[in-house]
């Protein structure tokens, strides 16, 4: 009886140790994990997750310093994909970080009101706004990620969000 019991317990312990070893990640693996997480994120670079970009959020997720439901632009699909990748409980996006957009939105500058101050250009994380000092500024719609970081700096409030062109 005792030898059988010890054998079973020993086998179970060995299997568990093997499983734990297999899922542990070395530093190389950590870098790869961050890449894998970053590949799932929408690259909006908006900062709504409270980190300064998508990659910092990916790093925090890899270090278990953030939860998977902090990315509104990614939507619930991204939250679930992150949960699947990291082996955590899937949950919908937490509304405290922002609302999930129903349609993709892009920024649009009302050119009749633009004063050419460069503030929105400096704010755009993906250089999607073209213009120069005292020249017209305009958003390249195909490259706008919808992060809305250009809206607060504008001194004349001439930027609005519109549905992305098909």
Partner 1 sequence: MATGVRGGLRLDAHKERSTEQALRPASAVETLVMPLDQHAGAAAVPLVKPGERILRGQPIAEPGGAISAWLHSPASGTVAAIEPRPAPHRLGAPSLSIVVANDGRDERVAESARQPFEQLAPEQLREIIGRGGIVGLGGAVFPTAAKLSSARKGHDVRLLINGAECEPYISCDDILMRERAHDVVFGARALMHALAAQTCVIAIEDDTPQAASALGAAIADAHDARVQLRRVASIYPAGGERQLITAIFDVEVPSGGLPADVNTVCLNVGTAAAVAHWVRDGQPLTNRIVTITGDGVLEQRNLEVPLGTPLAALIYDCGGYTGRMSRLIMGGSMMGQSLPHDDMPVIKATNCVIAASALDLQPRAAEMPCIRCGNCAEVCPAMLLPQQLHWYALGRNLDELETHGLMDCIECGCCDYVCPSQIPLAERFRDMKPALLERLAARNSADAARVRFDARTARLERIENERLAALAKKRQELAKKSS
- List interacting residues with partner 1 (CB under 8 A): 38, 41-45, 53-54, 125-128, 142-143, 145
Looking at the Cβ atoms of 50 and 143, the one nearer to partner 1 is 143
| Nearest in space to 37 (alpha carbons), one of 88, 100, 97 | 88
Looking at the Cβ atoms of 151 and 164, the one nearer to partner 1 is 164
Q: How far is the CB of 42 from partner 1 (least distance, A)?
A: 5
- What are the residues whose beta carbons fall under 8 Å from the beta carbon of 137, sequence distance 6 or more? 109, 114, 116, 118, 120, 121, 129, 130, 131
Q: Is residue 99 classed exposed, middle or buried when 0-12, 13-18 and 19+ CB atoms within 10 A define those classes?
A: exposed
Separation between Cα atoms, residue 26 and residue 77, nearest integer Å:
28
Looking at the Cβ atoms of 43 and 138, the one nearer to partner 1 is 43
| Nearest in space to 136 (alpha carbons), one of 103, 109, 99, 163 | 109
Looking at the Cβ atoms of 26 and 142, the one nearer to partner 1 is 142
Q: How far is the CB of 165 from partner 1 (least distance, A)?
A: 13
Q: How far is the CB of 53 from partner 1 (least distance, A)?
A: 7
Looking at the Cβ atoms of 30 and 122, the one nearer to partner 1 is 122
Q: How far is the CB of 131 from partner 1 (least distance, A)?
A: 15
Place of tokens 């179970």: 12
Q: How far is the CB of 22 from partner 1 (least distance, A)?
A: 22
Q: Taking the CB of residue 98, how many other CB atoms lie within 10 A of it? A: 16
């Amino acid at each position: 009886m005792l030898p059988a019991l010890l054998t079973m317990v020993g086998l179970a312990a060995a299997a568990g140790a093997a499983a734990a070893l297999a899922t542990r990640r070395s530093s190389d693996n950590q870098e790869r994990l961050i890449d894998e997480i970053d590949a799932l994120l929408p690259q909006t670079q908006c900062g709504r997750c409270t980190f300064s970009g998508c990659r910092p959020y990916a790093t925090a997720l890899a270090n278990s310093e953030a939860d998977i439901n902090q990315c509104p632009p990614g939507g619930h699909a991204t939250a679930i994909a992150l949960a699947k990748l990291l082996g955590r409980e899937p949950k919908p996006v937490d509304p405290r970080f922002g609302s999930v957009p129903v349609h993709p939105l892009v920024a649009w500058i009302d050119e009749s009101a633009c004063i050419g101050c460069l503030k929105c250009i400096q704010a755009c994380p993906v250089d999607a706004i073209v213009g120069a000092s005292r020249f017209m500024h305009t958003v390249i719609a195909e490259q706008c990620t919808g992060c809305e970081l250009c809206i607060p700096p504008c001194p004349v409030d001439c930027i609005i969000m519109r549905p992305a062109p098909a």
